[in-house]
Amino acid sequence: MQKPYIILHMMTSLDGKITGDFLNYGDALGEDYYRINREYKADAFCCGRITMEGSFTKGKQPDLAPFAKATVERVDHVAKQADYYAVSIDPHGKLGWYGDHIDDYDPGYDKAHIIEVLTDKVSDSYLAFLQSKGVSYIFCGNDKVDVNVMNDKLANLFGIKTLMLEGGGLTDTLFLDADVIDEISLVVSPIISNGGIDLFANKNCSLAIYKLQQTQQLSDNGLWLNYKK
């Protein structure tokens, strides 16, 4: 099976959290995070459903009523080939997309064509909804997403060679457990968070060892850490 080169790129607190009030500290440090993202020039970025909902669909629910009686063949759907992709891990089909691409002020995300990563549990009405929006989708498991199947399809169906993984914690762990993360890029905020979600949650992997490649001091007393497998 083939796979893209996968870079985990996240902002964390000093105690390894990826959500919390620390994210509101230092606009310049946040811009450093997005600048580093853009500099990688990946072919696609990937997030889980909760992250996609919070960052891009803003909680919009899909209107499935017009497709209540739809019957859709369970095959991968490549709506279009694009220069840049947004890979959305949405096992049961819950995201209410507005169209076939991301609209965002940041060029690191803007205009990325959406690929929904689904399981067999998704409804026919949701598949019809995605087709109506021009969104691509791939099937990658029965009830849970099989990362290896997903990676193979992203490489072969869409030609994705470099994939930027950007959370959340459950999605990061899905890739860690499959042992497919080639590089880790962490922008570390100089704050200990008051609660929040861990970078990796409920790990079920063998010992994963990475070698430090580069460090760089950033704005607002932040730090960039770069590791490779």
Reference 228, options 215, 211, 214, 207; nearest CA is 211
Is there a contact between 104 and 52 (Cβ–Cβ < 8 Å)?
A: no
Residues 52-71 have pLDDT tens digits of 999 999 999 999 999 999 99
Question: How far is residue 42's CA from residue 40's CA, in Å, rounded to a whole number?
Answer: 6
Q: Which of 135, 160, 185 is the last residue of a domain?
A: 160
Residues 173 and 205 in one domain: yes
Cα dihedral 87, 92, 95, 101, rounded to 10, equals: 30
Q: Which of 114, 133, 160 is the last residue of a domain?
A: 160
Residues 84-130 have pLDDT tens digits of 999 999 999 999 999 999 999 999 999 999 999 999 999 999 999 99
Residue 39, pLDDT score: 97
Reference 114, options 94, 132, 134; nearest CA is 134
Domain count, the chain: 2
Question: How far is residue 7's CA from residue 24's CA, in Å, rounded to a whole number?
Answer: 24
Residue corresponding to tokens 């072919």? 43
CATH number at residue 200: 3.40.430.10
Structural domain boundaries enclosing 71: 46-160
Question: How far is residue 119's CA from residue 146's CA, in Å, rounded to a whole number?
Answer: 9
pTM exceeds 0.85 for this model: yes
Residues 24 and 52 in one domain: no
**Two tokens at 62?**
């899909």
Residues 187-205 have pLDDT tens digits of 999 999 888 999 998 777 7
Residues 29 and 50 in one domain: no
For 178-216, letters b (16+ CB in 10 Å) and e give: bebbbbbbbbbbebebeebbbbbeeeeeeeeeeeeeeee
